[in-house]
Amino acid sequence: MDEACGPWERPSQTWGCYRFPVVIDRGNGRKWRVLLELTEANGNVEARELATGHRPTSAIAPEAVGLTLAEGKSVLAAMQTELVQSQADEYCDDRRICSHCGSRRSVKDWRARHLTTLFGGVQIEGPRFNPCHCGLVSRQIVSPLAEIMPDRCTPEYERILVKMGRMAAYGRAAALMAEFLPLDKAPAIETARRETLQVGARLEQQSLAAKPLASPPSARSIESRSTAAM
């Protein structure tokens, strides 16, 4: 067991430890909770509760064994929200520092942005910054959330939506995603269709751009073919 993690914990190099503490109650059964521990670069640790639950320890019915689909989706959605907000906060802090003079940009305002992911929609709040007074890097307003969430959905969500749309009817694909993933709501049929067509067109453009253009024939080769024809 990793020395940094205690009992009922799983080590994670990126985010610290996932905790799975279990409290046994002989009278009412077994209670559980899932905590997410975030460790910053400076060593500060934040523990956040994601979910709690209860399971009987006697007269257990088959449907009471393990996590239910609803509980699993709830844990994934809560973890995604915490991770995305944590990443966004840290990125905003980094972008506030001017890369040229090192001074801190002033805050212009705060904006909310909705990000659609495979593990639920996440509503993120973040600042926009005024241009730095040195004016050497950029004279435009800096919006960190718009930089890391330009499409308002993750590439993975887009890829899976398109893949499902290729394998099944758009309506069926959207319903299946909503059934097994903690999405706010099933993607609209028109959305699935539009995303599939847009991604297909983009992939086709990338494929054409990757192919080297045929070089035009040289004057010598044209002359050789003309001589041969005569």
Report pLDDT for 20.
52
The pLDDT confidence band at residue 230, using thresholds 50, 70 and 90, is low
A 10 A CB-CB count for 132 gives 22
Q: Where does CATH 3.10.450 sit in the chain?
A: 1-66
Q: Which of 61-65, 81-85, 109-113, 145-149 bottoms out in mean pLDDT, i.e. has the lowest?
A: 61-65
Q: How far apart are CA 202 and CA 194, in angstroms?
A: 12
Q: What confidence tens digit (pLDDT) does each residue in 187-196 have?
A: 666 766 776 6
pLDDT at 110 over 90: yes
**Residue 164 — very low, low, confident or very high, per pLDDT cuts 50/70/90?**
confident
Task: Say whether pLDDT at 158 is over 60.
Answer: yes
pLDDT band for 23, please (50, 70, 90 cuts).
Answer: very low
Confidence band of 26 (pLDDT split at 50, 70, 90): low
Rounded to the nearest integer, the mean pLDDT of the chain is: 78
Instruction: Say if CB 75 and CB 34 are below 8 A apart.
Output: yes
Q: Determine the average pLDDT of the residues in 214-227.
A: 55
Q: Is 170 exposed, middle or buried (0-12, 13-18, 19+ CB in 10 A)?
A: buried
CATH topology of domain 1-66: Nuclear Transport Factor 2; Chain: A, (3.10.450)
Residues above pLDDT 70, as percent of the chain: 72
Range 76-82 average pLDDT? 92
Q: Choose between 68 and 107: higher pLDDT.
A: 107
pLDDT of 31 > 50? The answer is yes
Residue type, 216: P
Longest dimension (CA), the chain: 103
Segment (H or E) for 113: strand 107-117
Local confidence band at 145 (pLDDT 50, 70, 90 cut-offs): very high
Q: Residue 24's pLDDT is what?
A: 45
| Number of separate helices (H) and strands (E) present in the chain | 6, 7
Quick one: the chain helix, strand, coil %, rounded to 5?
40, 25, 35
